[in-house]
Structure 1
Amino acid sequence: MKITDISPAIALSPLDGRYHSQTAPLVEYLSEPALNRERMRVEVEWMILLANGMDGNGSSDQNTVIPQGGHAASLLGGVQPFTPEEISYLRAIPEDFGAEGIEELALIEATTHHDVKAVEYYIDRRLDMAAEVLGEQTELARLKPLVHFACTSEDINNLSYARCIKNAVELVWIPGVQSIVDLLTDKAEQYRDLSMLSLTHGQPATPTTLGKELAVYVYRLNRQLKHLSQQEYLGKINGATGTFGAHLAACPDVDWLAVSREFVEQRMGLSWNPLTTQIESHDWQAECYSTISHVNRILHNLAVDVWMYISRGVFAQEPVKGATGSSTMPHKVNPIRFENAEANLEISCSMLDTLAATLVESRWQRDLTDSTTQRNVGSALGYGVLALNNLLGGLQAIHPNTAVIEKELNGNWEVLGEPIQTAMRAEALLGKDGMDNPYEQVKELMRGHHISQHDVQSFIDSLNYDPDTAQRLRNLTPAGYTGIAGGLVDYARR
């Protein structure tokens, strides 16, 4: 039997197959049906603005309607303002777009071979059926020319994509990152004073605290989330080459610039771009994807660091009951979640980087390279969401192995060479004898040798420190040599 003959169809992408349950929230915003539903919303809201004008319905709350007898005035001749019932009927078209509608739209597109035109015809059919719901007095069927009035496909597409992407980023992706930030913040606070050995260049170095190292990631991620909170999502509605040519030819007395701005900002909830070719230039998308890719790389760094901490024994994993770490070695608890996160972050970054690089270019006033490219935004974010889920689950299932941490610290007294030689420098500046070449003296003692607590304290006693400095250095241990690391955790939230 051919797998391709199985019904329902088997997914090709793991995002829609093996990992569907984890990436499903993005389907609501970045799937093909979600895009078509948003196209319907844009078309319908444009009709409402044209019919009811800019007074009284300028709210971004799309449930607000103009009451009968209000100040509504159509922008076009021959069109009476829609009644509240008609507005509700129109807005129900995208809201009721479900399985049957998806199938119907696909059949229409099979004839039109044009996705936006298929949406237009789908709405036309609903206008033809309006009398069955609203009564014969409605004129919606006569007003089919309002659908897609003075629009090019990109007027609909750019607004639809912007709204889809905005919702996906703000309602799915950012909350996923925020969950990781919140968990890291809690762990940073919990372990702010838990000393651990640092490794710079893979070699024992000045101790730190586990909380401070986690707080570094919190700080880095919060900066990028702040950038995303200020991200603009631009939109335009200005015709075939951005000149409002058709608008003015049909209705020269309308202030189309004001109408365009009103629609994009107030009705669509986006930032208005007044100056475009046929397409909105996608610069905001490049900015957004670059920031998300940056976050991915920070998270990739985190996943790799934690993986190595687990390998080193600093973190212990909590085994999942019934889970298998290896098909042949029963003892293993593999850090699989961090490995999955690492791999999927790399895939997400590669797609986001490609989107950011290619979407900002379009030949002259229009080419279609962006059309197929933008259909992959869901996959780019999908691999990112998959990584976020794995990383969060991995972080929730680890805890510090204090026995290993203490053993590392107690086995590396040579890390106290730094404070000893720095204190010697301070004494040399005061003119104390025997403090010349402090770095070289400590290097001679400690480099390439195993150093014990006794060796360190004997060296301190051999030097001409003032009594207070000598006692302060004698009291130092690797675990106690963390400076103000614990206090620095407070900056993670700022």
Structure 2
Amino acid sequence: MQQFSPLTTISPLDGRYNRETIKLRKIFSEYNLIKNRIKIELEWFKKLSFLSSITELPTFSNSEYIFIDNIYKNFDLHEAKKIKCLEKKTNHDIKAVEYYLKSKFVKNKFLKPYIEFIHFGCTSDDINNIAYAIMLKKSKNEIIIPYWEKISLKIKKISIRYKSIPMLSRTHGQPATPSTIGKEFLNFFFRLQRQIEKLKEIKIFAKLNGTVGNYNSFYIAYPQINWYEISKEFIKKFGICFNPITTQIEPHDYISEYFFCISLFNTILIDFNKDIWSYISLDYFKQKLKNKEIGSSVMPHKINPIDFENSEGNLGISNALMNYISLKLPVSRMQRDLTDSTTMRNIGVALGYSVVSYESCLKGIKKLYLNKKVVLKDLNNKWILLCEAIQTVMRKYKIFNSYEKLKYLSHSSNFNKKIINSFILNLDIPIEEKQKLQNLTPMEYIGISDIIVHKFFNL
């Protein structure tokens, strides 16, 4: 057998990008999924033992509850392997967890008589859906949102730093009305910030209501207990929203909402990566190169925008996975089928490619510095951009065919400032308007783009 290492894995998430994804492995690995299941099963047993209506299950002494809690606290990779061995026999992951816990309880003489209350009334998804909800909540709060806020903060700082630096805009790839560097970065900050707020608002749901969502087995055993409220209390203990209406499975709609939000953030970031790539190709931005870093294997002069390219590529893979998962999970035949089970095992993979892309993007942004000389030179040579300003003022004074006259003028092969000034001089508009237009330069024709940045950030 080949030795396992980052160099022998199939997935680059565990190989090439293993450093970037280590945080996610601590949440979405098979080991952590099993450990969450252990936690939920034990907490459910404890919850039942506190119910006075269940006379067949007593409230235990403090030492027994310490014993129960220690099963979770002392759970490690060695213990997880025991469960995987049981799963090979049962061919059922949740039943393997149940049998494992029973094997622990029989070692305690006070708990041994009550081992049948482990997994009492539950269907597999009662345990699994809570486990995944815990994992998604943790990844949202501890990984995804912090990454998003870090990226948006970097973009915000660039927007503020260059809020007044004019630049040539491009629409359809062609020279267009000027903006400022700060305003163009603000466009992305604003879009990304909206998704951050949306993700924060997305609720994570879970359920515990038996085989078809109606508490059938719970009710037949203990009809006097308000199982609806007990379930609600139990779910909320994990900081998760209670889903009161389900089939055998929690329908996963919130996971689709969760992933669609991330997918949109990623799409905006793809747009950002492509624009930065273009700005680098125009020499508007340069990249800091480490001492021994190489851009090309044969062209010594090259510094490729690889971080933004890597980010773009991994965002695409992540979105492809998340879009499939988002469309698949809400669909289940009748009460349930197992297509959701195998699909949900790839949630960490989908998020993993996002995390890799976020790291690449942050790395790329850190290398950027503005080539102000090129930015201003490129804009200063584009007198043709003032045609928009001139024809708009002409329209103000009702000059017929304003647009058409500037269109004809702009198609002159030797178009320059002198031609513009001559044209303005012959216009039938007030002298102060002529002077304003004649004094206007491409670098000054930025509208209120700098003011927009200033106002938005309350500078």
What TM-score do the two structures reach when normalised by structure 2? 0.96
How far, CA to CA, are the matches of 1:156 and 1:102 in structure 2? 17
Counterpart of 1:152 in structure 2 is 123
Amino acid at match of 1:203: Q
Q: Which amino acid is 1:210 matched to?
A: I
Q: Which residue does the alignment assign to 1:63? A: none
Distance in structure 2 (CA, Å) of the matches to 1:82 and 1:467: 94
Equivalent of 1:467, from 422, 428, 431? 431
Distance change in 2, residues 1:83/1:461 (3 Å): farther
CA distance in 2, matches of 1:389, 1:101: 33
1:173 corresponds in structure 2 to 144
- Within a 5 Å distance, the mapping from 1:61-72 to structure 2 comes to none
Shift of 1:288: 0.9
Find the aligned partners of 1:345 and 1:147 in 2 and give their Cα distance.
42
Q: Secondary structure at the match of 2:397?
A: helix
Kindly indicate whether residue 92 of structure 2 is the aligned counterpart of residue 114 of structure 1: yes
Q: Secondary structure at the match of 1:286?
A: helix
Q: Does 1:104 align with 2:82?
A: yes
Q: Which amino acid aligns with 1:415?
A: L
Map 1:50-89; keep pairs closer than 5 Å.
Answer: 50-53=48-51, 74-89=52-67
List per-residue Cα deviations over 1:125-156 (Å, max 9, x = no partner). 33234x4xxxx6xx223321221010000100
Gaps spanning 5+ residues in structure 1: where? 54-73, 429-434
| Match of residue 30 from structure 2 | 32
Counterpart of 1:172 in structure 2: which amino acid?
I
In the TM superposition, what is the alpha-carbon distance from 1:392 to its structure 2 partner? 0.7
Q: Counterpart amino acid of 2:14? A: D
What is the Cα deviation at residue 19 of structure 1?
0.5
Following superposition, the deviation at residue 275 of structure 1 comes to: 1.2
SS at match of 2:418: helix
TM-score normalised by structure 1 residue count: 0.89
Deviation at 1:442, TM superposition (A): 1.1
Compare 119-128 and 149-158 and name the one that shifted more. 119-128
Paired-residue identity, % = 38
Change (3 A) 1:157 1:75: farther
- Contact 1:37 1:95 survives alignment (8 Å): no
Of residues 245, 250, 254, the one that matches 1:284 is 254
Equivalent position amino acid for 1:102 in 2:
A
TM-superposed deviation, 1:302: 0.4
Distance in 2 separating the partners of 1:98 and 1:464? 85
Query: Following TM superposition, by how much is the alpha carbon of 1:394 offset from its aligned partner in structure 2, in angstroms?
Result: 0.2
Match of 1:6 in 2: 3
Count of matched residue positions in the alignment of Structure 1 and Structure 2 = 457
Look up the SS of the partner of 1:478 in the other structure. Answer: coil
Residues 8 and 305 of structure 1, relative CA distance in 2, 3 Å threshold = closer
Question: Which structure 2 residue ranges, 5 or more long, are not aligned?
Answer: none
Partner of residue 124, structure 1: 102
SS of aligned partner of 1:322 = coil
8 Å contact from structure 1 (residues 224, 291) kept in 2: yes
In 1, the alpha carbon distance for the partners of 2:79 and 2:117 equals 21
Residue number among 396, 399, 411 corresponding to 2:369 in the alignment: 399
The answer for the alignment partner of 2:418 in structure 1 is 454
1:316-355 aligned within 5 A = 316-355=286-325
Q: Secondary structure at the match of 1:5?
A: coil
1:301 equivalenced with 2:271 (yes/no): yes
CA distance in structure 2 between the partners assigned to 1:40 and 1:201 by the alignment: 56
Write the deviation string for residues 411-453 of structure 1: whole angstroms up to 9, x where unpaired.
111001111110111122xxxxxx2211111111113534322
Q: Are the counterparts in 2 of residues 197 and 408 from structure 1 also a CA contact under 8 Å? A: yes
Question: What residue is the counterpart of 2:222 in the other structure?
Answer: 251
Cα deviation, residue 480, structure 1: 0.8
Q: CA deviation at 1:462?
A: 1.9
**2:133 counterpart residue number:** 162
Q: Structure 1 residues 476, 96: closer, same or farther in 2, change over 3 A?
A: farther
Q: For 2:41 and 2:361, how far apart are their aligned partners in 1?
A: 40
